[in-house]
């Protein structure tokens, strides 16, 4: 691949070059906690990050993730109408009081899960997405392994304790799946709903994360959880300018102490670091020639944000470069990976972001290719 250096920045990159803040730095009530920067996945703070504990309704982050991934893949639509099963109707805990046979759209069910932590809606979603409740639980555990959630085990889609055990996870694993969910930006439309006095024409829906949303500047999500066994858990996220942090805490004694821990960690993150965005998802990086294609060229875009995390107290040199071939062979499919951008620190690659084509391009027919050859011959004669 041809390599071309395209930018040189003066920023301080913390990905692997500064130590994680130790658990002794802050006095937290939570048994475990993680502070992660969203765009890079860099962990800034950790306390007992890999202890496996009950995570209560924070479980629903994975339920939401699998549903939105199914929508993205074209396997489901937010407008799908789903039928409530008896299993869903019989769920305990927080509900929107669905009756056996009730119809609900996937969109409304996701709002009910996100805002009100509705257990009955989580079951309806699971059965619709996987075809069976058991199949959905299997997929939850498969996706957890794919994300590197090594200390997680799901037994249901809601987080309620059940006979035979509870859903288990760690603060680090919660941050991982939260980061993945936040790639689906529609989530913020739901996580910021504070209440709905007449949801679906029958239910008062109140956000379980209301106090955080109202009191912390930049707060816009994500999911709370509580059971007697799990204590108070949360995955919280907030954004200021281009910087977003995720805080996962587990087993706090009460919701006020949980919120205090979240605020303490977010204050540390925003006060000490900022995110520098080099390229935004979808930015056109280069136009490349297409060999034997119906189109002669294609625009190459970045698959996700290209960013670096800057320590506000330091200055270091960071580079990034584009790796792309001079020509790409047709046919091409929209989203096809054809190269990458590398972010470097002292000539060491510390992050790689894929480059993709932004449209389908079919292979040119024989007559089109012959016409191009004839045109080239005429231009040479001139």
Q: Residues with catalytic annotation?
A: 57, 60, 117
Q: Strand 32-37 vs strand 195-199: parallel, antiparallel, or unpaired? A: unpaired
Residue 166's φ and ψ, nearest 5 degrees, are: -120, 165
Longest dimension (CA), the chain: 85
At 251 the three-state DSSP class reads strand
How many helices (H) and strands (E) would you count in the chain? Answer: 10, 20
C-alpha to C-alpha distance for 125 and 112, rounded to whole angstroms: 11
Give Cα 74 to chain centroid, integer Å.
Answer: 18
Q: What is the DSSP letter of 23?
A: G
* Tokens 């679906």 sit on residue: 200
Please report, for residues 55, 194, 341, 365, the alpha-carbon distance to residue 36 in angstroms, rounded to integers and kept in the order given: 18, 25, 23, 51
Give the Cα separation of 305 and 294 in Å (integer).
30
| Residues 13/316, Cβ–Cβ less than 8 Å | yes
d(CA 283, CA 334): 15
Question: In whole angstroms, what is the distance from residue 158 CA to residue 369 CA?
Answer: 58
Q: Look up residue 56 and give its DSSP letter.
A: G
Neighbours of 197 (CB within 10 A): 8
CA distance 269 to 266: 5
Q: Take residue 299 and report the two structure tokens written for it.
A: 């625009």
DSSP character at residue 268: H
């Amino acid at each position: 691949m041809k390599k071309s250096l395209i930018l040189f920045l003066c920023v301080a990159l913390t990905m692997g070059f500064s130590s994680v803040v130790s658990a002794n730095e802050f006095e937290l009530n939570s048994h475990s906690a993680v502070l992660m920067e969203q765009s890079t996945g860099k962990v800034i703070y950790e306390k007992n990050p890999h202890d496996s504990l009950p995570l209560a309704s924070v479980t629903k982050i994975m339920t939401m993730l699998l549903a939105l991934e199914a929508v993205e893949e074209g396997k489901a639509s937010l407008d799908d109408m789903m039928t409530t099963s008896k299993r869903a109707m019989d769920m305990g805990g927080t509900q929107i009081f669905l009756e056996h046979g009730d119809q609900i759209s996937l969109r409304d069910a996701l709002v009910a899960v996100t805002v009100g932590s509705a257990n009955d809606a989580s079951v309806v979603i699971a059965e619709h997405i996987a075809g069976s409740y058991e199949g959905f639980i299997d997929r939850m555990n498969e996706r957890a392994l794919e994300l590197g959630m090594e200390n997680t085990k799901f037994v249901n889609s809601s987080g309620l304790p059940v006979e035979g055990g509870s859903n288990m996870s760690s603060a680090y694993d919660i941050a991982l799946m939260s980061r993945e969910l936040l790639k689906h930006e529609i989530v913020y439309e739901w996580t910021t709903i504070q209440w709905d006095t007449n949801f679906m024409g029958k239910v008062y829906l109140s956000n379980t994360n209301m106090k955080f949303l109202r009191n912390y500047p930049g707060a816009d999500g994500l999911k709370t959880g509580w059971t007697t066994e799990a204590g108070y858990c949360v995955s919280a996220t907030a954004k200021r300018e281009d910087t977003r942090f995720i805080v996962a805490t587990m087993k706090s004694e009460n919701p006020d102490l949980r919120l205090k821990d979240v605020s303490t960690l977010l204050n540390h993150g925003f006060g000490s670091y900022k995110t520098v965005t080099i390229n935004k998802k979808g930015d056109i990086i280069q136009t490349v020639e297409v060999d034997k294609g119906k189109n002669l060229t294609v625009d190459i875009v970045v698959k996700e944000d290209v960013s670096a995390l800057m320590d506000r107290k330091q200055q270091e040199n960071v580079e990034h470069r584009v790796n792309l071939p001079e020509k790409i062979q047709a046919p091409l499919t929209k989203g096809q990976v054809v190269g990458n951008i590398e972010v470097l620190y002292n000539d060491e690659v510390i992050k790689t972001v894929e480059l993709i084509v932004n449209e389908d391009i079919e292979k040119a027919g024989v007559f089109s290719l012959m016409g191009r050859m004839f045109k080239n011959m005429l231009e040479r004669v001139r």
